[in-house]
């Protein structure tokens, strides 16, 4: 099984097979419009524009599970991303990334790359520790802007926790795209 075995509804309500991205590297991110990390859209878009021709697709999945920070409709989310950050990478419909209603793609991503949200991840660790202690030490997505890097073969390569900025991923991405 790979990420290409999944489908998801895009931001316009159309069912999309992730097979459409076969042969491309993917950065799959759960996003939110009203989060302290929302400015990462700018870095994601810059990364996308710089590396798309080399084979990168960034897939944004809005999620409202963390502090209600993605309350809008799909139309509102698309409008916000377009006008605030000129986002041109594909966006999908709002999903859950954890729990019994988690989208199967994210259940798969979490199982393939459980992550380790440790104390070295900055102040966000302390916040998660105090507000969501049950999530520490699990494969759960801990917050908005968790990123999963997927190789051209559809296999999960690595998980980046929310505080890792898009530009910090660039060396791993360059290695993957140049392979």
Measured distance CA(35)–CA(23) in Å, rounded? 32
Residues marked as catalytic = 35
Cross-strand partners of 160: 147
Measured distance CA(19)–CA(174) in Å, rounded? 22
> Can you tell me which residue has the tokens 């202690």?
133
Cβ-defined contacts of 34-38 (< 8 Å, 24+): 34/68, 34/69, 34/70, 34/71, 35/66, 35/67, 35/69, 35/70, 35/143, 35/144, 35/145, 37/143, 37/144, 37/145, 37/162, 37/163, 38/69, 38/144
- Judge whether 172 and 158 are in contact, CB under 8 Å: yes
Cross-strand partners of 15: 9
Q: What are phi and psi of 156, to 5 degrees?
A: -70, 125
């Amino acid at each position: 099984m790979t990420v290409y075995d999944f489908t998801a509804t895009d931001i316009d309500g159309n069912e999309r097979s992730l097979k459409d991205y076969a042969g491309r590297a993917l950065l799959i991110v759960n996003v939110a419009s009203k989060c302290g990390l929302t400015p990462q859209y700018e870095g994601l878009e810059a990364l996308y524009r710089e590396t798309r021709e080399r084979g990168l697709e960034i897939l944004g999945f809005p999620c409202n599970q963390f502090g209600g920070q993605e309350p809008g409709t799909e139309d509102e989310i698309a409008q916000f991303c377009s006008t605030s950050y000129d986002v041109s990478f594909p966006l999908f419909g709002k999903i859950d990334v954890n729990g019994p209603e988690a989208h199967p793609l994210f259940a798969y991503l979490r199982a393939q790359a459980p992550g380790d949200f440790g104390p070295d991840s900055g102040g966000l660790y302390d916040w998660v520790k105090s507000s969501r202690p049950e999530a520490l030490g699990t494969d759960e997505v801990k917050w908005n802007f968790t990123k999963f890097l997927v190789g051209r073969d559809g296999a999960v390569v690595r998980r980046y926790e929310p505080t890792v900025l898009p530009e910090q991923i660039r060396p791993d991405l360059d290695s993957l795209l140049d392979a």
